[in-house]
Amino acid sequence: MQRTDDSDLFVGQDGVARCGWPGINHADYRDYHDREWGKPVHGESALLERLCLEGFQSGLSWLVILRKRPGFREAFAGFDADVVARFTEADVQRLLQHEGIVRNRRKIEATIANARATIELREHGGLEELLWTHAPEPTPRPRSFADVPTQTSESELLAKRLRKAGFEQVGPTTLYAAMQACGLVDDHLVGCFRAGSSRSGSRLTEMRRTS
């Protein structure tokens, strides 16, 4: 890969310009950037997964979480809220021995709490509606990493509302990372071939009208 002169873009051997954060040597990280990051995510289980994995990532490299994602999905039943909400202390002990995940009691218990909170949210529009109604209006596309915030007023408000609903491990920085991952914001840099990949379209517009 070669870095361009005027931004944090890299041009790979395939001649494609990308955001530089996936690095040079991690094909799986690059594939995540190319295929997932910034692409709109919908559906309760998929969104619960992203929230919980961002919580697990706190203090770690996202690459660690990405490589363990199959283990997380197996351990937490595909992030089916109805299944995870029934986990007991025995399940916590089991997961603390699960080599396929990050074995952190606080984060495991937070995932169970988040599943229970997700079920409670169904009576109030559901997790998807809550998340997507906090998607900000489009802003100028970042030209460099320095232009990308770590948190915003929208992520702060969303964090407050999620905590009030019973969610854990959902600070504003974690929430902004989740917003990026789920396509609520599109922070692909100017010149990246994936820039403009977040297209919430009429679905987001409809949610805003009815919220």
The residues annotated with a catalytic role in the active site are: 32, 54, 62
Q: What Rg, from alpha-carbon coordinates, does the chain have?
A: 18
Give the three-class secondary structure for 3.
Answer: strand
CA distance from start to end of the chain: 45
Q: Identify the DSSP state of 135.
A: P
Determine the longest span between alpha carbons in the chain, in angstroms. Answer: 55
Give the three-class secondary structure for 169.
Answer: coil
Alpha carbons 130 and 161: distance in angstroms, whole number: 9
Alpha carbons 134 and 30: distance in angstroms, whole number: 28
Determine the residue type at 155. Answer: S
DSSP annotation string for 39-88: S---SHHHHHHHHHHHHHHTTS-HHHHHHHHHHHHHHTGGG-HHHHTT--
